[in-house]
Amino acid sequence: MIIVTGAAGFIASALISELNKYNFNNIIAVDLFDSDLKNQNIEGKKITQRVNRHELHDWIQLNHEEIEFIFHLGARTDTAEFDRALLAKLNTDYSKMIWKNCVKYQIPLVYASSAATYGLGEFGFDDQENLSEKLVPLNPYGDSKNEFDIWALKENKKPFFWAGMKFFNVYGPNEYHKDRMASVVYHAFNQITKTDGMKLFRSHNPKYSHGGQMRDFVYVKDVVKVMYWLMHHRKNSGLYNLGSGQARSFLDLVKAVFVAMDKDEKISFIDTPIDIRDKYQYFTEATMDKLKGIGYPHPFTTLEEGINDYVSHYLKAQKRY
C-alpha cells in the first residue's frame, strides 16, 4: 500500500501513473478532491481508496501496518500566497505530522521540498544540507518549505529512509488546473494558440539579453521516474535537487514550443512588472551531482524533447498522463 498526498495535483497524479505503469496499484490517494478539473488527473488510474487530507492522521493510525511507502507531494504551492499562518498549517505542520507517523511506524518517506528555498541563489543551487539555514527564500512559500527542511534535518528521530526533493521548474501534462502557477510551456502554448505570438519579459539585467533569463526546466516524467527509483533505493537519506541540471533560456523554451506547434516564431517583449523586478531570478540551475552520486542511472529529457512530447501528445489533445 502506497500513500500519495496531493494525489489529484500535477506531480502527484503523474507519479500515480508511473506507479500504475509498474503494477503498483494499491494506491491511497490523499487530497481534498474538491476540484473537478484536478480530479480529472486521476480518472482512470488504479487507486484503492481516496482519503480526505484532513483525515490522513487518523487513517494512518488504523492502517499503518499495511503502508509500505509515503510520497508526500501535497502542499499549498502558490508563490504569491502571503498568509504565513496558512502556509505553516498546510505545508510545515502537515509535513511534520506525516514525518512523525513515518518515524513511529517506520515508513519510508519521499516529500516535496522546492528550489524556491534557494531564493536568488546567493549561495548557489547546491543541495548540501549544511547550507539550508543560510538560504533566503524570496516568498513565504519558499520559507515554509525551507523551514520544514531545516526542522527535518535537526530531528533526532527520522524515518529509516527519507528524501526531500527540491523540485526546480517542472513542466508537463496534468497541470491544466494550475492557472497562473502553471509552467511557461503551458502558458506559451495557450498564448500562441490564441494570438499566434508569445510575449516574454525584457531583461533588466545587463548580463542577460531579452529572453535570455535562464531556468532549470525539468520534465514531469523525469521527476516521477526519480521518485519511483528512490522508492526502491531506500538508502542515502537527505535533501536532493530535482532538476535537469541544465539551465536553458526562456527564448529557447518558447522557440521549442513554436517548433512543436509547427508555427512561425513571433516573439515580443514586455517590461517585467516593477513589483517583482527586484526579486526576479535571472538564473537557476540544479546541481545534480548528489543524486547521481548515489547511483541514479537515468538521463534527463532535453528541453526540446520534453516540450515536443508535452505539446504533441498532451496539450494539443488536452490529455492527461
Catalytic residues, which ones?
A: 141, 178
* Integer angstrom CA distances of residue 254 from 51, 90, 190, 192, 205: 39, 34, 12, 10, 20
Name the residue among 241, 264, 272, 253 with its Cα closest to residue 215: 253
* Integer angstrom CA distances of residue 195 from 172, 192, 262, 263, 266: 22, 5, 14, 11, 9
Are 240 and 110 contacting, i.e. CB atoms less than 8 angstroms apart?
no
The span from the CA of 168 to the CA of 175, in Å, is 15
Are 31 and 5 contacting, i.e. CB atoms less than 8 angstroms apart?
yes
Amino acid type, 196: D
* Integer angstrom CA distances of residue 99 from 158, 237, 259, 280: 8, 13, 44, 33
